[in-house]
Amino acid sequence: MAIYEILIRGKDDGTIAGAHQVAWVADGTKPDGSPRWRVGDAAPLAVEAIAALLGTELAALTAQAARADALAAENEALAAENAALRDQVAALDGRTISSSIVIWAMTRIVVADADVQSFTTGARVAGAMRVGLGEYWVFFSETLPTTDFVAQAWTDESGFSACVPSENRFDDFVIVSVTNAAGQPADPQSLNLAINRVS
């Protein structure tokens, strides 16, 4: 009895790039008497024949697998970026910037699909939410004794500006406003916030 294995190579768009038929050849028997098999020669197969045999289902599964791989790589990159930022925040939290000003709170917010996807915690930031286009509320885990502090907001993307007007600074949260190059409210991919106060 001949045993064959078909190996298929797919493209990112879900189509089939190539295929081979690999024969498994009998190679003696195992101690228990069952046959032992080894990999034999591979013979190329016509892509058209494989595509017709498997239909569009394989193409859809291949495309889905490619998208899953891309998302996994993106998530891994975001996780590494988030871990690095946590280390930076841990190093900066409470460090003296000058003789009288210290970083009291700090966070990085990741935005996607008109919502906050993640934010860095552990530096006196309890939560973050998108209220509207270009408007983000950031909540502190501790209440400040006064609103006399400096709030610095910025993005890493060109063409965007972020700020916290004095009227949007409260003892337990701030409202960050983001605009594009035309001065219109806009959502960036990421947003940074640092709260500096007198020690």
- Domain segments of the chain: what residues? 3-84, 96-198
Would you place residue 123 in the very low, low, confident or very high pLDDT band (cuts 50, 70, 90)? confident
Residue 76 has a CB neighbour count (10 Å cut-off) of 10
- Give this prediction's pTM: 0.50
* pLDDT for res 19: 75
- Per the prediction, the chain carries an average pLDDT of 82
CB within 8 A of 8, min separation 6: which ones? 16, 18, 19, 50, 54, 58
Q: Which two tokens stand for residue 50?
A: 């494989």
User: In whole angstroms, how far apart are CA 143 and each of 17, 55, 98, 164, 167?
Assistant: 60, 61, 23, 18, 17
Closest by alpha carbon to 7, among 40, 29, 36? 40
Helix (H) or strand (E) holding 75: helix 47-92
64-94 confidence digits (pLDDT tens) = 767 777 778 887 887 787 777 777 776 666 5
